[in-house]
């Protein structure tokens, strides 16, 4: 039996990215990081879906999102500030950043 995943929290950008496309029309891109929990092991898991709205119709993005550097930074910073990650994860970041 496949374990159920529970949504624990969701982080999104303060401002979504929008543009006008010749083919698709007005498009809004809304990437997110979602913290899930394995119902059996209680292990935290992280999902990075996105929603895209084309001409007012929203749909779930089925592929890996492509985000700008500062968008990724904003999402990860919010997750860190909310205490999503373990001490080991944060220590790895500190080492990588040289601080």
Closest among 83, 92, 70 to 9, alpha carbons compared: 83
Residue with tokens 């007012």: 56
Residue 2's pLDDT is what? 76
Over the stretch 33-50, which tens digit does the pLDDT of each residue have?
A: 999 999 999 999 999 999
Residue 34's pLDDT is what? 94
Q: Give the global pTM.
A: 0.81
Over the stretch 23-35, which tens digit does the pLDDT of each residue have?
A: 889 999 999 999 9
Over the stretch 50-98, which tens digit does the pLDDT of each residue have?
A: 999 988 888 888 788 889 899 999 999 999 999 999 999 999 999 999 9
C-alpha–C-alpha distance, residues 79 and 56, integer Å: 29
Tokens of 40: 């059996």
């Amino acid at each position: 039996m496949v374990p159920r995943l529970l949504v624990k929290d969701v982080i999104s950008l303060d401002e979504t990215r929008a543009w006008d496309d010749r083919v698709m029309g007005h498009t809004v891109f809304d990437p997110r990081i979602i913290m899930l929990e394995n119902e059996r092991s209680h292990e935290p898991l992280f999902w990075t879906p996105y929603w895209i709205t084309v001409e007012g119709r929203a749909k779930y993005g089925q592929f890996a999102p492509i985000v700008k550097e500062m968008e990724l930074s904003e999402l990860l910073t919010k997750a860190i500030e909310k205490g999503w990650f373990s001490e080991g994860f944060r220590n790895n970041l500190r080492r990588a950043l040289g601080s």
